[in-house]
Structure formats: C-alpha cells, structure tokens
Amino acid sequence: MTADPSCIFCKIIAGQVPSRKAYEDDELLAFHDIHPWAPVHVLIIPKVHVASLADVQPAHERWLGKMMLLAPKLMKDLGVTNGFRTVINTGADGGQEVYHLHMHVYGGPRPWAKG
C-alpha cells in the first residue's frame, strides 16, 4: 500500500493535515513533532506507508539508508551542534503510537522532557 487514508502521517504527506516541514524529497518527509520533547524534535518518515520497522522489506533499503543519512544533515541545518538522539519506537511494547514508520530525532540543549 502506498498510502493509508486513515493514517495521520499519510494525511500530512498528502497535505491534508498541516505540519511544519523541515525537509522533503520524493521518498522522505521530515517535520517538527507536534508535542516536542526537546528544543528540536523532528520526525523523519518515508512517503510510502509502512506501518513500522517490523514491516520493512529489502526493497525499502534505499530510503531506510536515506533516513539515517538525513538525520545528521537535518540536525546541522537546524543548528544542533552538540549531539542528538534518534529513536524508532516499534510495536506495542516499543511504545509506538502512530503506525507509519518514523524516526524521532531530538536535539538542542539539555535538559529534555523525556529520555
């Protein structure tokens, strides 16, 4: 499935739900989390609907790699100079709330609300 009409992040990709975008290309979107846990808190998502990291396939290798490459570039572009944290919550026991694969990237001066 390319998009899931009931998925909030697919709606953000489609522009049906507003977001503060930080980066976009043909395969990825990055936007600021609506409830930030750190001074900078962005979510990097694939434009294709994949529910979680438990569902990735070999065909997803390209954009999975791009997600990892984008995180440090984005932090640099957003002025984060002293390190950052990346988190992918997966499934119920992983604490995942939105079932469209996403990487949290947290940065900025500590203390942070969580983590």
Site string for ligand 5GP, 54-93 (x = CB under 6 A): -----------------------------------x----
Site for Zn ion in 5-64 (CB under 5 A): 7, 9-10, 49
Considering the complex, state which of residue 63 and residue 104 has its C-beta at the smaller distance from ligand 5GP.
Answer: 104
Q: Let me know if 32 is a catalytic residue.
A: no
Token duo for residue 89 = 């919550």
Among 8, 48, 51, 53, binds ligand 5GP (CB under 6 A): 8
Considering the complex, state which of residue 36 and residue 60 has its C-beta at the smaller distance from ligand 5GP.
Answer: 36
Q: How far apart are CA 38 and CA 112, in angstroms?
A: 5
For residue 84, give the H/E element and its range. strand 84-87
Using CB under 5 A as the binding rule, whether residue 98 contacts Zn ion is answered as: no
Among 10, 13, 19, 22, binds ligand 5GP (CB under 6 A): 19
Token duo for residue 80 = 């984060």
DSSP code string of 91-107: TTTTT--SSS--EEEEE
Helices (H), the chain: 8-14, 61-77
Q: Least CB distance from residue 28 to Zn ion, whole Å?
A: 13
Instruction: Look at residue 24 and give its three-state secondary structure.
Output: strand
